[in-house]
Amino acid sequence: MPIDLASAPLWRGLILFGAGAVASGLNAVGGGGSLVTFPTMIALGVPPLVANSTNSAALWPGSLGSALGLLGPLRATKAALPRLLVPTMLGAAIGALLLLAGGERVFRWAVPPLILGSTLLLAFQPALKKLRQHDRHVPLWTGMLLQFLIAVYGGYFGAGMGILMLALFGLFVEGDIHAHNAVKAWLALLVNLVASAVLLSQGLVNLSDALWLSAGSVLGGYVTARLMQRLDPQRLRQLVVALGLGLCAWFFVRALTV
């Protein structure tokens, strides 16, 4: 049952601010922030398609801060970022257009497997990190194609997109994990900007909710990130994975009954 906060916009805003702050903290220590913000908006009565679009629009200010803070490590990747700009932009735009083409009904059925997929990505993140440590390489064109597909996913839904990028960059991008994280930050920013522009043009972004989420992500994210860094990473990951599995089941039942 959605929470009726229409008569209490300040409380609604504070809830979204808190969700944005918690999501930012989770993203800073491992990922899974969208597993907090997306269902929060659903609980507040936002339709799934609008909630997903608003979530994308709210993410880019926090992504910009991360990207600007990683300009130094970005130099170690040499020409990787320019080569990945075009496939990333095209993929994000196509993902957003697929979201529009499928509409609310298709997206409602797509949400459970998408949440399950992003939850599994988070659960197996340690294994993906080990993949980056091995000396395995793929051709540049293969890496560009895979980045295009990740951007399509990011433009459509996006939870777990950063984990996929980091796993991919370990296979063909020069530099260490910090350099790869820098490329990921700038490309994630680009995905969110392109997808947001497409979805905003179609009136699918709730600007008020997006502003509250962005404010929480930027202003409250630093505090929550510091707090979460004191927690055991494995326990925190297990908690978010359990949340994701529960949400997957809830959204599946919801799709059957709506």
pLDDT tens-digit map of 181-220: 788 888 988 998 999 999 999 999 999 999 999 998 887 7
Whether the per-residue pLDDT at 41 is higher than 50: the answer is yes
Residue-wise pLDDT tens digits, 125-162: 677 666 655 555 778 889 899 999 999 999 999 777 88
Whether the per-residue pLDDT at 44 is higher than 60: the answer is yes
State the Cα–Cα distance between residues 63 and 187, nearest whole angstrom.
9
Give the model's pLDDT for residue 144.
Answer: 93
Whether the per-residue pLDDT at 111 is higher than 80: the answer is yes
Confirm if 63 and 70 have CB atoms less than 8 A apart.
Answer: no
Q: Which residue has the higher pLDDT, 202 or 239?
A: 202
Whether the per-residue pLDDT at 3 is higher than 80: the answer is no
Give the model's pLDDT for residue 76.
Answer: 73
Whether the per-residue pLDDT at 6 is higher than 50: the answer is no
Residue-wise pLDDT tens digits, 51-109: 999 998 887 776 776 677 777 777 777 678 899 999 999 999 999 999 999 988 899 88
Count of other CB atoms within 10 angstroms of residue 227? 13
State the Cα–Cα distance between residues 182 and 63, nearest whole angstrom.
11
State the Cα–Cα distance between residues 73 and 159, nearest whole angstrom.
24
Whether the per-residue pLDDT at 251 is higher than 70: the answer is yes
Give the model's pLDDT for residue 158.
Answer: 79
* Helix intervals (H) in the chain: 9-29, 34-43, 48-68, 71-74, 80-123, 125-133, 140-156, 161-172, 177-201, 207-215, 221-228, 233-257
Tell me, what amino acid is at 68?
A: L
Against a cut of 0.95, is the pTM above it? no
State the Cα–Cα distance between residues 167 and 127, nearest whole angstrom.
10
Q: Please choose, from the candidates 221, 245, 24, 231, the residue with its C-alpha nearest in 3D space to the C-alpha of residue 115.
A: 245
Q: What phi and psi values does residue 119 have, to the nearest 5 degrees?
A: -65, -40
Please report which confidence band the pLDDT of residue 4 belongs to, taking 50, 70 and 90 as the band edges.
Answer: low
The Cα diameter of the chain in Å comes to: 57
